[in-house]
Structure 1
Amino acid sequence: MTKVNVPDRLLSAPELLAAHRLLRGLPPEAALQMTAHAQLQQVRSAQILFHEGDAAHHYLLLASGQVEVLRYSQSGDERVFQVFETGQLVAEAAMFMPHGRYPMCARARSAAHIYRLQRDSLHQACRQWPQLAMNMLTGLSSTLYAQVNKVDWITSSSAGERLANYLLNLKERQGASIQLPLNQRQLAAYLGIRAETLSRLFTDWQARGYIAGKRSDWALCDEAYLRRLASPAQRSF
């Protein structure tokens, strides 16, 4: 068995999961049930954690580092759908899919520690604590609503509007200095625009003083302009 080097500050699976939104209003026993037989794994950057189409027996709890989920097109291009951080769950929804397979590929974005949690333990916990199932439904409904809004936004917005909205959302999560979690090619695919268009927007906005930075590190210098540009994406609920 490969030895896993565990940092001193690494939380246990029940400790990490107890702080997750899914466990709101639930006793500590729920986290213990969900993490029964959890397996800690140390992974390297770019390591594939599961492939699209693999049998979905486990979902992931991220203890350190970053993980991204992606799909490959018929031409081999990859599209990153989401980047996960410490404390987040990856592929918990796949544990309930009727075909029993992962709909995407998961890849370590950096060196990371992950807990592999068992599908059967999650199912048993949902039966034992109905509030857990309700919390999962709430989270899945929110995700579905966000995706509906995203499809509507992409089909009715310009490239500049999409980029402005994306950068503002990053600022809300990261603060004044933002770091792009995707490279420009991945970001262009995520926003549904051409890579050349995205590069031109960054160059033009930097020349006009709207943003400042390079590569993945940026600051928003004219937030008022970006908010006016992104305003069609803001919804009242």
Structure 2
Amino acid sequence: MTNINLPGPAPAALLARHPLLQDLPPGLLPEVVAGLLRGASPLRAEPGQVLFGEGDEAFHYLLVESGQAEVVRYGYNGDERVFRVFEPGQLIAEAAMFMPHGRYPMQARARSALLAWRLCRHQLHDACRRWPDLALKLLAALSKNLYDQVNKVDWMTSSSAPERLANYLMGLRERQGSTVTLPLSQRQLAAHLGIRAETLSRLLNDWQTQGYVSGKRRQWAVQDPAYLARLATTAKRPF
């Protein structure tokens, strides 16, 4: 992982489009962006390279310019669980900048060739002190993430394996269309859904035989969205 001068869109333009900065007064936006980028440094990482490790001191959060990154954690039995995949324009580990222990709670690594920017923790703290609207937006985003995780835990403890897989595939379908590309390997996806890899493989094979889906490995087409939608209904919250 090396520092370089990155080509392509300016980090200021990426950051200005981030939801965290939406609805700020237009005259204030350039000042906030400049403050957050003060002291930022560019980086490049090859696929599989670690961006920061679980337990490392959290001095920076990341703004992805191109490529993909993922955050992972290893279980006590050594199983790897991918919690989220990050795309261009997204921030990684901004919540870690406020953790009392000052350390990253997960490992981040490049999923593909990655171009990103390291943004400074103390600049984010200073920005929140200077611009209360930014601090409130950040609190709202962190609260939503917490709410989503509570719902996810509730869903994972009360749903069946077919319901979890159906909900996951329908979420991908909403974003990608009727043909979806799994962002995780099937083994990683099984861990993400809290089911055995053999169960996931059997489900996909059964659904393919019955005509609900078609495909292999990471490429799948949803042939019967109504069936999967019925399975996924219990994951929907009223608010």
TM-score (norm. length: structure 1): 0.96
- Of 2, 9, 12, 2:10 maps to 12
* Structure 1 Cα separation of the partners of residues 62 and 178 of structure 2: 30
Q: Deviations over 1:81-108 (max 9, x none)?
A: 0000000000000000000000000010
CA RMSD between the two structures: 1.1
CA contact (8 A) 1:64 1:113 kept: yes
**Contact 2:3/2:43 (<8 A) preserved:** no
Q: In the alignment, which residue of structure 1 is the partner of 2:153?
A: 151
Q: Choose from 26, 36, 39 the match for 1:37.
A: 39
Q: How does 1:56-75 map to 2 (within 5 A)?
A: 56-75=58-77
SS of the equivalent of 2:150 reads helix
Distance 1:89 1:76 in 2: 27
Which residue, 184, 196, 199 being the options, matches 1:197?
199
Shift of 1:120: 0.6
The 5 A counterparts of 1:126-137 are 126-137=128-139
- 1:187 aligns to what? 189
Whether the 8 Å CA contact 1:5–1:42 is kept in 2: the answer is no
- Contact 2:190/2:200 (<8 A) preserved: yes
| Identical positions, percent | 62
- C-alpha change, 1:157 and 1:170, in structure 2 (3 Å) is same
Say if 1:167 and 1:36 are closer, same or farther in 2 by CA, change over 3 A. Answer: same
Helix, strand or coil for the counterpart of 1:55? coil
Structure 2 runs not aligned, ≥5 long: none
Match of 1:169 among 168, 171, 175: 171
Runs of 4+ with deviation above 3 angstroms: none
Shift in Å, 1:212: 1.0
Secondary structure at the aligned position of 1:135 is classed as helix
User: How many Å separate the matches in 2 of 1:165 and 1:222?
Assistant: 13
Greater mean deviation of Cα atoms: 26-35 or 160-169: 26-35
**C-alpha deviation, 1:236, in angstroms:** 1.5
Q: Is the 8 A contact 2:3 2:41 kept in 1?
A: no
Q: Distance in 1 between matches of 2:231 and 2:46?
A: 39
TM-score normalised over the length of structure 2: 0.95
Q: Check the 8 A contact 1:40/1:113 in 2, yes or no.
A: yes
User: Are 2:109 and 1:116 equivalent residues in the alignment?
Assistant: no
Measure how far apart 1:5 and its partner are: 6.2
1:208 paired to 2:210: yes
Q: Deviations over 1:98-156 (max 9, x none)?
A: 00000000010000101000001101111111111111111111111111111111111
Structure 1: which 5+ residue stretches go unaligned?
none
Q: CA deviation at 1:3?
A: 6.5
Number of matched pairs: 234
Contact (CA 8 Å) 2:181, 2:218: kept in 1 or not? yes
